[in-house]
Amino acid sequence: MNVAEVTLEKKYHRAVEHWRRHWLPDYETLLAQWDRYFPQDEPFCLCAKMECGTPDRVAVGEHAGEAKRLAPDELSEEEARHLLAIIRAQASTEFGSIQQHSGTLARAQDDEDRFWVLRVMAEELRHGYQMFHLLLSQDWSKAAAGVRGEEMVEEILSMGTGSHVLDAFNLEYDSFVDNVCFAALVDRVGKYQLTMQKVCAYKPMADSMPPMLREEAFHLAAGVIPMRRWAKRAAQGEGFITMQGLQRSINKWYPRALEMFGDERGGDSNVRMGFKDMKNRQAQDLYIEEVRRMIRDINARYLRARFPGYTPEKSDQVLDEVERSRGRHDGVAFEDLLRLPDRRFFRRKGEPAWTMVGLEGESFAEVDDYLRHLAQRLPEAYLAGGDMKRYAETLRLVVSGQLGVEDAIRKMPRLKRVGGNCPCSRAVRWVVEEPAS
């Protein structure tokens, strides 16, 4: 495992640093405290990391067996545009999640939790930087008929919560529970995307994946480990975070996470062009099973903390029994445990878009009944926000037949105008490196 580290041309590097000063103001604190929270770990490096020695041949699709493409000009226009859309979406998620995390980071109750999330944010910045390297180190304009990497980078740096490519990155966090549930659920989709892209027929993209995946393993831990600890404390009646609070956050993020895979019926072109090795539904199915395991694991942690005298076998048996009967066991109700929402719950994209399916898979006929069902299952602060309001308005139009499902899918999210997101109002123009005034 040999990795080459690359830095962007100065003006682009500075633009990322400038962005970082706005959205990751604790970056210097993280670096100063790095050895305290991550002793012996390699110091953080804001650079692109390219894995050496990855396969040279295309693994899947219509070019399988051919040499991997090393430059944009070796791709057809269709392929170049398609790949650029993947890179743009990937980059948008990296920068978008930092903006989301920064909103509630300070509300962490525990310093270790906060520093773990800070490290996640810094690594997401590196991932965004990595995607910029792909856009900027080679000329895409011929292959993609005039699309310039530099313009794409400028656009991505000007996106904010509300104007990102994927819906999951357009929702604000409501509390620190969201920082953690997001890492456990949404970063997990990221892991799937990166794993699928390891085969990418465009070699610089494939080479970017292994170093990102190594970092992503920690992001998932930064989600699951605090969730396990919160479940334990909830069982012992300590702390502020309840199992119901965790469940509400899961209900908020899980539907958006599922939609990040793309429409369940799609993904053929990714495989055909050799950019990913799985279609959307196939990857989503695996993801769902993994989240099911995660929830089971957290529930087991809760039960053992609640009944310290139980053996693991007894605890398993109780878990199975309560899940099956939806009843109670010695003071623990079915509602005290976490559960996996139905894959059609609260969806606005993909196959089940705008159907009214409840958490347990039950169907609703009336919009008001369904909205009441959602109101009892989503975080209170989220219910009061703009996303929920737009969702409810759109749902009414769809159910009354005034808006087609396809049009409704395109309507969410309502994009904010891109640009002007830099709080210093100089936008993200390249040469912004004057001393702060």
Partner 1 sequence: MPEVQAEVRIRPLDELDIGSIVRIDERITGAYRPDLWEQRIGYYLRRDPEASRVAESGGRVVGFMLGDVRAGEFGIEEPGGWIERFGIDPDYRGRDLRTRLVSAILAHLRERGATKVRTLVDRKDAGVTGFLTALGFTPSPLQALERHIEPRESP
Q: Report in angstroms how near the CB of residue 300 gets to partner 1 at its nearest.
A: 6
Identify what 228 binds: partner 1, Fe ion, none; CB under 5 to 8 Å per kind: partner 1
Are 196 and 167 contacting, i.e. CB atoms less than 8 angstroms apart? Answer: no
Identify what 40 binds: Fe ion, partner 1, none; CB under 5 to 8 Å per kind: partner 1
- What lies within 8 Å, CB to CB, of 379 at 6+ separation is 174, 175, 177, 178, 245, 248, 249, 252
Residue with tokens 């006929």: 365
Identify what 187 binds: Fe ion, partner 1, none; CB under 5 to 8 Å per kind: Fe ion
Q: Report in angstroms how near the CB of residue 320 gets to partner 1 at its nearest.
A: 15
By beta-carbon proximity to partner 1, the closer residue of 232 and 416 is: 232
Identify what 224 binds: Fe ion, partner 1, none; CB under 5 to 8 Å per kind: partner 1
By beta-carbon proximity to partner 1, the closer residue of 216 and 277 is: 216
- Residue 383 carries which side chain, given as an amino acid letter? L
- 230 CB-side CA count, 13 A: 27
By beta-carbon proximity to partner 1, the closer residue of 295 and 388 is: 295
By beta-carbon proximity to Fe ion, the closer residue of 79 and 259 is: 259
Q: Is 293 exposed, middle or buried, given 0-12, 13-18 or 19+ CB atoms closer than 10 A?
A: exposed
By beta-carbon proximity to partner 1, the closer residue of 297 and 351 is: 297
Residues within the interface to partner 1 (CB under 8 A)? 1-2, 38, 40-41, 119, 214, 217-218, 220-221, 223-225, 228-229, 232, 290, 293-294, 297, 300-301, 304, 308, 312
Identify what 41 binds: partner 1, Fe ion, none; CB under 5 to 8 Å per kind: partner 1
Residue environment code for 106-136, b if the CB has 16+ CB neighbours within 10 A, otherwise e: eebeeeebbbbbbbbbbbbbbbbbbbbbbbb
Identify what 293 binds: Fe ion, partner 1, none; CB under 5 to 8 Å per kind: partner 1
Q: Report in angstroms how near the CB of residue 230 gets to partner 1 at its nearest.
A: 12
Can you tell me whether residue 329 is helix, strand or coil? Answer: strand
By beta-carbon proximity to Fe ion, the closer residue of 184 and 374 is: 184
User: In whole angstroms, how far apart are CA 293 and each of 17, 53, 228, 246, 343?
Assistant: 38, 34, 13, 16, 15
Residues within the interface to Fe ion (CB under 5 A)? 94, 124, 127, 187, 216, 219
**And the tokens for 293?**
């395991």
